[in-house]
Each structure stands twice: as C-alpha cells, then as structure tokens.
Amino acid sequence: MDELLDHAPPAGDSLSDPDWSRGDWEATCLTRLVRQRSSHDCGVACLAMAAGTAYEDALQTFRALGLDGKPKPLSSNFTDLGRALRAHGMSCRLKRWAGWEAFTGLGVIKVGKRDGRQRDWHWVVAEAHPEFGLVVRDPGSPLVALRNPPLSVCYRDIDRIDPYGSWLSVARAAGAAASHLASA
C-alpha cells in the first residue's frame, strides 16, 4: 500500500471500491483526482483538477504556452501555472501561506518534495468543503487528504501535508472549460 496510508477503511469496503479512494462522497466535491504521468508534470495534473478538465486538455495548454520545452519538460513555477490557469478562463492570485486554518476556496498549493530537497517543490490542489472541511488532492498519490473524512474512505492525514511559501488562490469562471485555448 501507499507509504502515506494513514487510515484504512472498515473491513469489506475493498470489494466495492478496490482502491478505497473514491465513492459517492466525491460527488459533493468541486475537484476530481487527476494523476501526474511523469516526475515533473504535477502542474499539468493540478491544472486539470483545478479547471475541471482532462489531463490531455491541460497538457495541450502547457504545450501551447511552450512549457514542454524546458530542461525539465512540463515543470512549472507560479508564473507558468498562473498563465495556464488564466488560459482556462480562471482567475488566480498569489497568496502567502498562512496555514490550513486560514485556507478558503480553491487553490494550488506548493508543498515540499518527498525527497527533502529544498529547491524542489510539488503542486497539490486543495478545496474548502462544507462537510469535510478540507479536501487535498495530490497528483502523485491515489489517496485524498481530508480534514473531516467520511467513515468509509481510506485517506491521508491532512496535517502530514506541509505547504510552505506561497500558493495560488483560484476562481473558476463560468464556461471556462469550453474556451480555455482561445486566450492561450
């Protein structure tokens, strides 16, 4: 199992949900998990999650913006990710991280990489949720992190996710998914 497995579901849930990570509870969430496909494309996956679009659409946006020609192809910084979000019709603002208690709305959050290198980071998507408090989706993990999880969900403890520095506060625009490349 995933090394970050914190809380297993009750016995028997594995038959109806083999990876214990999805269920009816997700219908109430704004985001859906999109997994990254290489070591540097967490920004692509987070764009797809934040915009509510497919990985392939987000990848097309990264390519249209020239972000696939970097030394680390598809890697992204705040400026790159902000451009990609705006290309999908979303507005975003850079904010200083002030802790999970201060988080509201939808955001793309910078967290430290698991290998501990300080100059490298990883993107995750977080959303405030009326029932679960916070929902955090890591494109590098099949497990969701939740503040107040439903009983039948295998999840990561949200306090094990360590954001630092700044983050992007994101707002979806009506009809943004259909016209995202028009402004790229």
Quick: pLDDT tens for 59-117. 999 999 999 887 788 889 999 999 999 999 999 999 999 999 999 999 999 998 765 55
In angstroms, the CA 145 to CA 148 distance is 9
User: Looking at residue 152, what is its pLDDT?
Assistant: 83
* pLDDT given for residue 173 in this prediction: 76
Q: Per-residue pLDDT for 56 more than 60? A: yes
- In this prediction, residue 73 carries a pLDDT of 81
pLDDT exceeds 70 at position 155: yes
Q: How far is CA 57 from the centre of its chain?
A: 16
Pair 31, 50: CB distance under 8 Å: yes
133: left (phi over 0), alpha (psi -120 to 50) or beta: left
In CATH terms, 37-171 corresponds, of 3.90.70.10, 3.60.150.10, 3.40.50.720, 3.90.76.10, to 3.90.70.10
Residue with tokens 């016995």: 11
Return the number of other C-beta atoms located less than 10 Å from residue 52's C-beta.
Answer: 16
Treating both helix axes as pointing N-terminal to C-terminal, what angle do 78-87 and 55-64 enclose, rounded to 10 degrees?
110
Token pair, residue 42, equals 């967490």
Cα(141)–Cα(161) distance, rounded to whole angstroms? 12
If you ran DSSP here, which 8-state letter would residue 167 be given?
E
Mean pLDDT of the chain: 83
Sequence-distant (6+) residues with CB within 8 A of 31 are 49, 50, 52, 106, 125, 127, 135, 137
pLDDT tens by residue, 14-48: 333 444 445 688 899 999 999 999 989 999 999 99
Do the beta carbons of residue 31 and residue 52 sit within 8 Å?
A: yes
Q: Which amino acid is at 48?
A: A
Whole-prediction pTM value?
0.81
What gap in Å lies between CA 108 and CA 82, rounded to an integer?
A: 10
